[in-house]
């Protein structure tokens, strides 16, 4: 168990800079998820922590010790890979005990550690199998077992659930979370799936284009996104972003409706108004017309995609709406949980809703 401190970390391949000064503090025992679209640098960052990629400048320290120059094996970390990376010629038990064997630990101790980890991950029945004889979920558990037996200071997970089917992914998500609660270990976990991030993390680091966009707890990011990128990346379906303007009395959205609000920007400023699909209400006072295009009933809720003055908008309703494509649906866009952003920079504008 340990802290991880990443400060002003930069990475370039030749003249191409891919990471532009990243700072991430990670507390002891924290479950931190790096999330972002592909190419955002999250995997590179994880691989730099692991020591599989060199550091161009900046510092990574684990448990207060600078590790920039250390070999992966000397960093006291363990890593779980997306494609499991199990040794095909070894049994499950040999795979799990391999690191300890390389470290020259006595056989009895290795066996005890492997048995203990197998117990935790319910792999005891499979210890004599070869990886080829296991299912995807079982292989992923073996990969985790291989990490557990080492009692590393930090666990690194690189998109570990991406190769599993949807149902198994939900199950493994719960298993990894339970494992974290049991081991109380520091975990750095990379995923492109914001739902994975929301459901598992203590702390989420949203990355984009080699920069950190925002760091915070899942609900902090969901409720108070710092900018348009975080606002639209976290949450599914994504937050609606509508063109708006600051007026003397409030916010004019899409030229259709005047919402109360007092953004910290001069009157006349063009802004973006963000509202989550489930914060939009059906009907009510000051409702605006949406031309329905697609209706998707999921059972628990209804997703509607439509056009508001030519702009695409998504609405999620708990009710079973019986609207059909082509019909007009009246919706209210006022919400205490809406956000306004600067149009050019995408930065959040502090606002006091006057409701």
Partner 1 sequence: MSKTRPSLRPSLQGYVLLGPALIVYLLFAVYPMIDVIRMSFSSWNGLSPQAKFVGIANYRAILTQDPVFWGALWNTLIWTSAAVIIPNLIAFGVALALNQNIPGRSGLRIVFYLPVIIASIAVATIWKWMYDPFFGLFNGLLTSWGLTGLIMDWLGDKTVALWSVFVAHVWQSVGFSMVLFLAGLQSVSTTLIEAARIDGAGRWGVFRYVTLPALVPTITVVFVLSLINSLKAFDIVYGMTGGGPAQSTQMLAMWAYTQSMQLGVFGRGAAVSVVLLLITLIVVIPYMRWMFKREDMGR
Can you tell me which of 102, 108, 166, 300 binds partner 1, judged by CB under 8 A?
Answer: 102
Residues 173-192 that bind partner 1 (CB under 8 A): none
Binding span for partner 1 by CB under 8 A among 44-52, 163-171, 204-212, 314-322: 44-52
Give the total residue count for the chain: 355
Q: Does 99 bind partner 1 (CB under 8 A)?
A: yes
Q: Does 215 bind partner 1 (CB under 8 A)?
A: no
Residues 117-176 that bind partner 1 (CB under 8 A): 132, 146
Catalogue the long-range contacts made by 214-217 (C-beta closer than 8 Å, 24 or more residues apart): 215/24
Q: Does 73 bind partner 1 (CB under 8 A)?
A: yes
Q: Does 300 bind partner 1 (CB under 8 A)?
A: no
Q: Does 87 bind partner 1 (CB under 8 A)?
A: yes
Asked if residue 68 has a cis previous peptide bond (ω within 30° of 0), the answer is no
Q: Does 14 bind partner 1 (CB under 8 A)?
A: no
CA–CA separation, 240 vs 329, rounded Å? 16
Q: Does 42 bind partner 1 (CB under 8 A)?
A: no
Tell whether the torsion through CA atoms of 70, 71, 76 and 79 is positive or negative.
Answer: positive
Contact call for residues 218 and 331 (beta carbons, < 8 A): no
In the complex with partner 1, the residue whose CB is nearer, 95 or 226, is: 95
Can you tell me which of 98, 189, 222, 273 binds partner 1, judged by CB under 8 A?
Answer: 98
CA–CA separation, 72 vs 52, rounded Å? 7
Q: Does 79 bind partner 1 (CB under 8 A)?
A: yes
Q: Does 50 bind partner 1 (CB under 8 A)?
A: yes
**123: Cα separation from own chain's centroid:** 28
Task: Provide, rounded to whole angstroms, the least separation between the CB of residue 121 and partner 1.
Answer: 17
- Provide the 8-state DSSP code for 324: -
Q: Does 103 bind partner 1 (CB under 8 A)?
A: yes
The encoded tokens of residue 251 equal: 């916010």
Strand order in the sheet with 203-208: 77-80, 154-158, 186-191, 31-35, 203-208, 211-216
Task: Provide, rounded to whole angstroms, the least separation between the CB of residue 83 and partner 1.
Answer: 6
Cα distances (Å, whole numbers) of residue 251 to 109, 206, 218, 273, 310: 67, 28, 28, 8, 19
Contact call for residues 259 and 251 (beta carbons, < 8 A): yes
Task: Provide, rounded to whole angstroms, the least separation between the CB of residue 122 and partner 1.
Answer: 22
Can you tell me which of 21, 29, 39, 72 binds partner 1, judged by CB under 8 A?
Answer: 72
The residue ranges that bind partner 1 (CB under 8 A) are 50-52, 71-73, 77-79, 81-83, 85, 87-89, 98-99, 102-103, 132, 146
């Amino acid at each position: 168990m340990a802290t991880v401190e990443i400060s002003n970390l930069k990475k370039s391949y030749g003249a191409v800079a891919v990471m532009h000064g990243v700072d991430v503090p990670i507390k002891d025992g924290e479950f931190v998820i790096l999330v972002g679209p592909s190419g955002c640098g999250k995997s590179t960052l994880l691989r730099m922590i692991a020591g599989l990629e060199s550091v161009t400048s900046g510092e990574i320290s684990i448990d207060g010790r600078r590790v920039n120059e250390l070999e992966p094996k000397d960093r006291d970390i363990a890593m779980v890979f997306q494609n499991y990376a199990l040794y095909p010629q070894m049994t499950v038990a040999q795979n799990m005990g391999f690191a300890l064997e390389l470290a020259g630990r006595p056989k009895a101790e290795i066996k005890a550690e492997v048995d203990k980890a197998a117990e935790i991950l319910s792999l005891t029945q499979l210890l004599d199998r070869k990886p080829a004889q296991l299912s995807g979920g079982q292989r992923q558990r073996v990969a985790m077992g291989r990490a557990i037996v080492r009692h590393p200071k930090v666990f690194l997970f690189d998109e570990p659930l991406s190769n599993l089917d949807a149902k198994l992914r939900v199950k493994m998500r719960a298993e990894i979370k339970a494992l974290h609660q049991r081991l109380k270990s520091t975990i750095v976990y990379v995923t492109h799936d914001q739902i994975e991030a929301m459901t598992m993390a203590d702390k989420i680091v949203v990355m984009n284009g080699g920069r950190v966009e925002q760091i915070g707890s899942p609900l902090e990011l969901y409720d108070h996104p710092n900018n348009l990128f975080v606002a639209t990346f976290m949450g599914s379906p994504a937050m609606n972003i509508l063109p708006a303007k600051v007026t003397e009395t409030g916010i004019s959205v899409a030229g259709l409706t005047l919402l109360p609000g007092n953004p910290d920007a001069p009157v006349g400023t063009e802004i973006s108004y963000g509202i989550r699909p489930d914060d939009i209400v059906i009907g009510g006072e000051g409702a605006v017309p949406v031309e329905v295009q697609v209706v998707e009933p999921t059972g628990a809720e209804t997703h509607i995609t439509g056009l508001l003055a030519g702009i695409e908008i998504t609405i999620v309703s708990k009710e079973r709406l019986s609207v059909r494509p082509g019909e007009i649906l009246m919706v209210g866009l006022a919400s205490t949980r809406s956000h306004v952003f600067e149009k050019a920079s995408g930065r959040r504008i502090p606002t006091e809703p006057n409701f």
